[in-house]
Structure 1
Amino acid sequence: MDFVIFIAAMSALIYGADFIIKESERIALHFNISQFVIGATLIAFGTSLPEMAASMMASSQGKSDMAVANVVGSVIFNITLVLGVVFLVSKKMHPKRNLFAQDSAWVVIPLVVFFIMVQDGVIGRLDGFLYLLLMVSYIVFLFSDSKDDLEGSVDDSLAKEKFLWGKTIILLIIGFMLTIGGASFVIQSGTDIARVFGISEWIIGIFLISLGTSLPELVVSIVAVKKGNAEMSIGNIIGSNVANFSMVLGAASLINPLTVDLITTKFDMLILVGASITLLFILANKLYNKAGAIFLLIILVLFLQNAIV
């Protein structure tokens, strides 16, 4: 039964992602907004809802380690797995936006703020409030920095259709419900399957939850790049990671202060820094291809190998 639920949930993820991409294209076309901005805001926030729900639930139950580990793991999976797979399956990715010049700071800033905050071993409520302010500043930056015309390819049929807010909002809600709900059932059914095969509770809790909550980003990004929307795909990951640090950790720490042990989590933190540096290298050299994918997937394998061992 768990296998049936798993397959059905994955189908919901895929159909939900298709709704999100198509309606996001429609909004971008109607308001002449770049696809990167749509990916980094609307889609990124929507696909970060599973992480937010998981971390807020963990924080309310006093499980600080799980709340923080979910964010750290999700950011690692977003960079290594999601972008790695996207670069691997895409034929050509030539974003018109200069991602390194315009957006590389947002790969670094949330990470630097995170390590400053956890030096005392606690992400407190004031830290959480400051993180939420960082999220606001990111949104302001995106819309003040992006005055570009619509970039990338948009479905010709969408350009001919009349824009209807009601229809678009309803389909977006359906898309996010299918994507997020599908991710939730994938986590639960995947966890049950893992237990049948005797995988440890620690691996299930830390890696399946992090991986499961990254599934919306993975599916949405693959669908976006398959439709020729490279800007939207990369924007989704950068925006999701900013949201994971600022919005997810910020909200979770407002519920309860989160404790972080840098000594016991040093390998995961090292992987987090390594993945972020690799992403900066890819953006700087525009390695949106299989070479970039290999770099990211190597880091992913090292991350998973340490977890299994």
Structure 2
Amino acid sequence: MDLIIFTIAMAGLIYGADFVIKESERIALHFNISSFVIGATLVAVGTSLPEMAVSMSASAKGSADIAVANVIGSTIFNISLVLGLVFLLAKKINPHRDLFAKDSAWSLFPILIFILMGIDGKLSMFDGILFLLLMGAYLMFLINSNSLEEDIDEDLKKEKFNWLKTGVLLLIGFIFVIVGANFAIDSAGNIARSFGISEWIIGLFLVAFGTSLPELTISIKSAINNNADLAIGNIIGSNVANFTMVLGLSAIINPLNIDFSSNYFDIAAAFIATLMLVFITANKLYNKSAGIALLIVLGLVIQNSLV
């Protein structure tokens, strides 16, 4: 039964992703906003809702391991799996935005601040508030740095913009994506618990993978449709949102205990994956070789967890 639910949930994810991408592009065109900014704000926050729901619920129930591991695992999956597959599957990746000059720092800030905050073994309510302020700063930066320097979809340009139609279709798309992800998480979690897997591993892999499915489906479809800016913006924005909004709100609900000594490898892997993203953007290595390198990082994380 869980396998059937998982299959249907995946279909809903893919179907919803089509709506989200198309309507997000329509909004970007209408308001003269770049695809990257739309991907890093509207799409990123929308696809981070599953992480937010899971981590906040886990925090409220006192399951700090799942709340924190979900964010760490999502960061690893978003960069190594999602971007890795984007680089492998896309025919051509040529972002119009200078990602290194404008956005690489925002890839590093959240995880560096997380490590500094967690040295004492806990994320407090005050830490959570600081994370939310950081998200506000990121949104202000994106709005001020917006510039539309990309190819325009002529078919979309000819269509008359309709707020009601776009809003309804975008909402339907997000509902399909988020509900699909939640069902995928539940079905996978049921299977995992039957094998007696720990909360950290469930959060790091099963829950994090499940909550990363929206980013995975939307980014890959965007890349295949030659919209690399939206795909990469979605990943960077989602990672910022995961550390700032997801961990911030979770810490405000209930202080989160962090065991660096037991989970240092996974936290280090998330940091290294982020450094690799910065290196890729600095050297514009948007190719299959970079995709393979990122997938190797994921393989090492999986191997370490299975040992």
What is the CA deviation profile of residues 252-285 of structure 1, one whole-angstrom value per residue up to 9, with x for unaligned ones?
A: 0010111111111111111111111111111111
Corresponding residue of 1:250: 248
1:29–1:150: 8 Å Cα contact kept in structure 2?
Answer: no
What is the CA deviation profile of residues 163-216 of structure 1, one whole-angstrom value per residue up to 9, with x for unaligned ones?
A: 0111111111100000000011111222334456x4734443431001100000
Corresponding residue of 1:86: 86
**Percent of counterpart pairs with the same letter?**
57
Q: CA deviation at 1:304?
A: 0.5
| Secondary structure of 1:32 counterpart | coil
What is the CA deviation profile of residues 209-233 of structure 1, one whole-angstrom value per residue up to 9, with x for unaligned ones?
A: 0110000000000111111110000
Q: Which amino acid aligns with 1:137?
A: A
Q: 2: CA distance between counterparts of 1:2 and 1:269? A: 30
What is the CA deviation profile of residues 284-308 of structure 1, one whole-angstrom value per residue up to 9, with x for unaligned ones?
A: 1111110110110110000011111
Corresponding residue of 2:4: 4
Q: 2: CA distance between counterparts of 1:152 and 1:120? A: 48
Q: 2: CA distance between counterparts of 1:191 and 1:62? A: 18
C-alpha RMSD of the superposition: 1.3
Corresponding residue of 1:129: 129
Q: Which amino acid aligns with 1:11?
A: A
Corresponding residue of 1:208: 206
> Which consecutive residues of structure 2, in runs of 5 or more, have no partner in the other structure?
none
1:97–1:231: 8 Å Cα contact kept in structure 2?
Answer: yes
Corresponding residue of 1:225: 223
2:123–2:255: 8 Å Cα contact kept in structure 1?
Answer: yes
Q: 2: CA distance between counterparts of 1:290 and 1:199? A: 37
| Secondary structure of 2:260 counterpart | coil
| Secondary structure of 2:95 counterpart | coil
Q: Which segment drifts farther, 41-50 or 1-10?
A: 1-10
Q: 2: CA distance between counterparts of 1:94 and 1:160? A: 25
Corresponding residue of 1:189: 187
What is the CA deviation profile of residues 5-38 of structure 1, one whole-angstrom value per residue up to 9, with x for unaligned ones?
A: 1111111000100000000010011011100000
Q: 2: CA distance between counterparts of 1:194 and 1:255? A: 27
Corresponding residue of 1:21: 21
> Which consecutive residues of structure 1, in runs of 5 or more, have no partner in the other structure?
none
Corresponding residue of 2:34: 34
Q: Which amino acid aligns with 1:111?
A: I
2:25–2:35: 8 Å Cα contact kept in structure 1?
Answer: yes
Q: 1: CA distance between counterparts of 2:52 and 2:211? A: 9
Q: CA deviation at 1:55?
A: 0.5
Aligned residues: 306
TM-score, normalised by the number of residues in structure 2? 0.96
Does residue 61 in structure 1 map to residue 51 in structure 2?
no
Q: CA deviation at 1:108?
A: 1.0
Q: CA deviation at 1:157?
A: 2.3
Q: Which amino acid aligns with 2:14?
A: I
